[in-house]
Structure 1
Amino acid sequence: MNYDNLPTDDLKEFGIIGADNTFSKKLSNDDIQKFLKGESLVADNGKDRVVFQLKDENTRLEVNVFQRDRAISDILNEAEKGISYSSIEKKNSANDILGFEKKAFLYDEKLNQIVEFDLVKNSKELTQIIAERKNIEETNRYKNELQKLKDFLLDKMDNFPEIAKEISNDINIVSKTINTIDDATPNREQAQKQEKSDIQLGVNDPDRYQDANQEREEQQEQEQERKRGFRR
């Protein structure tokens, strides 16, 4: 492969290629091919995430540094038991106002691995997965995370009106997702009302009362017969 146009010095600095100009053994052939075609190469370490991408016909290496709210190991451990949420923020550019993302991590049984979803970019896929689980606690937690993200974006839009249009696009997506959840799933109060209604329906079952009354009448008749026998 011809590496003449690649920014080899930068690639060596970050350990993507070695001194012999070959790619790191940690990278699969698929990773390398995607990277050379312009896709991102991601490295996670603790709370830090570094994203590498080749630009300008593979002549320049763009490096973006992000920081999570907690270590990736903690996030993945939690995701093995349920859905794990985490925020990530861009750190190497003070001018990137929108360098904030909210992520969800969950175990995919079909792929047999933990998958990462963006609450804005992957909202449809994530909402469908959570809806299929039919877990009210999980759904309410998802809705709360979306509401927190919406509040954060609204605050950003107030503070940076020059990019209000771009932020409003994300807000619209989040708002639609919240509405979809409200339409598709009952909230806790509705679930409790339904549960109470089911219990009352069982208590007021007329067949149960008829059976009980019939049994009581039979017992009374037997008691009267027993008393007659004593009189004789």
Structure 2
Amino acid sequence: MQNENLPTEELKKFGIINEDLSFSKKLNADDIQKFLQGYTIVADKDKNRATFQLTENNTKLKVIFLERDKSMSEILEKSKEKIQYSETSAQYNFNDNRHSAQLGFSKQAFVFDKETNTIKELDFIKNAPELTKLVTERKNPEEIDRYRLELEKLKSFLQDKLEQYPEIAMRITNDLNIVSREIDSVNSIAPDEKQIAKENNSDVQLNVNDRDLYEDANRNREEQEEQSEEQEKSRKFRR
């Protein structure tokens, strides 16, 4: 991993580093270390999301603009009452690059923890076991049924994608297997466990991302879209 060849001009444009090349104070030491190791920085504002990731041995900055089906403020507020489910998708096409099109969609759950007054965002694929465990441990029939329905919706979506993009069938099949496994796990809950009185306890924490980073990114969106499109033509990127 190389740090001396960072794409400084791009990082400056999006407010990730300052003119003196120091990292933004909005990022703590752990954020910076993870970013340099390939983790993604996420910035949310209303229904918009921008993600930033260093690629090609830290010499390139990949920026993706996504749109959520609900505003972040709405999600955070309603999550205090019950788990919220949301989907994000790419705001623009990558010249019909089918690998990119598949990666331009994700589904998340937002869970509120009263004790710590925090919210955690869990991805249906990446955090599948943790999310299923969290939902089922609440032993709330209504929450479990809602979660099962969201899993079924995701399964249907992936099945459609499997037919639409056969060239990445292996990747989609892997996601389908994960979702199917979680559906089986939820369905295996004993009926008597489902009937336990509803509880409003939650478990979580959330990395609510900096709005200013999104605003910095949005100002440069047009230019970055062109760069992202060119990059996607030359390589298959990994989320």
What's the TM-score, normalizing by structure 1?
0.74
Q: In 2, distance between residues paired with 1:58 and 1:163?
A: 26
User: 1:155 is aligned with what amino acid?
Assistant: D
2:157 to 152, 171, 191: 152
User: 1:127 is aligned with what amino acid?
Assistant: T
- Which structure has more relative contact order (CA 8 Å, sep 6+)? It is 2
Tell me which structure has the larger Cα radius of gyration: 1
Question: How much does 1:117 deviate?
Answer: 0.7
Partner of 1:215: none
Partner of 1:104: 109
Matched, 1:76 2:80: no
Deviations along 1:136-179, whole A, 9 cap, x unmatched? 01100000001111111111112222222221111111112111
**What's the RMSD between the two structures over aligned residues?**
2.1
Task: Output aligned runs, 1:198-217, within 5 Å.
Answer: none
Structure 1 residue matching 2:188: 3-state secondary structure: helix
User: 1:104 is aligned with what amino acid?
Assistant: A
| C-alpha contact 2:3 2:36 (8 A) present in aligned 1 | no
Question: How much does 1:57 deviate?
Answer: 2.5
Partner of 2:144: 139
Question: How much does 1:14 deviate?
Answer: 0.6
Partner of 2:191: 186
What's the TM-score, normalizing by structure 2?
0.72
Partner of 1:126: 131
Structure 2 residue matching 1:184: 3-state secondary structure: coil
Q: In 1, distance between residues paired with 2:135 and 2:190?
A: 10
User: 1:25 is aligned with what amino acid?
Assistant: K
Partner of 1:213: none
Task: Output aligned runs, 1:9-24, within 5 Å.
Answer: 9-24=9-24
Question: How much does 1:87 deviate?
Answer: 0.4
Greater helix share, structure number: 1
Structure 2 residue matching 1:54: 3-state secondary structure: strand
Structure 1 residue matching 2:23: 3-state secondary structure: coil
- Where structure 2 has 5 or more consecutive residues not aligned to the other structure, the ranges are 196-239
User: 2:11 is aligned with what amino acid?
Assistant: L
Distance 1:155 1:6, change over 3 A: same
- Where structure 1 has 5 or more consecutive residues not aligned to the other structure, the ranges are 192-232
Partner of 1:46: 46
Instruction: Between 104-113 and 36-45, report the one with greater CA deviation.
Output: 104-113
Q: In 2, distance between residues paired with 1:132 and 1:3?
A: 43
Partner of 1:87: 87
- Aligned sequence identity (%): 48
Question: How much does 1:4 deviate?
Answer: 4.3
User: 1:69 is aligned with what amino acid?
Assistant: D
Structure 1 residue matching 2:87: 3-state secondary structure: strand
Structure 1 residue matching 2:61: 3-state secondary structure: strand
Instruction: Between 31-40 and 178-187, report the one with greater CA deviation.
Output: 178-187
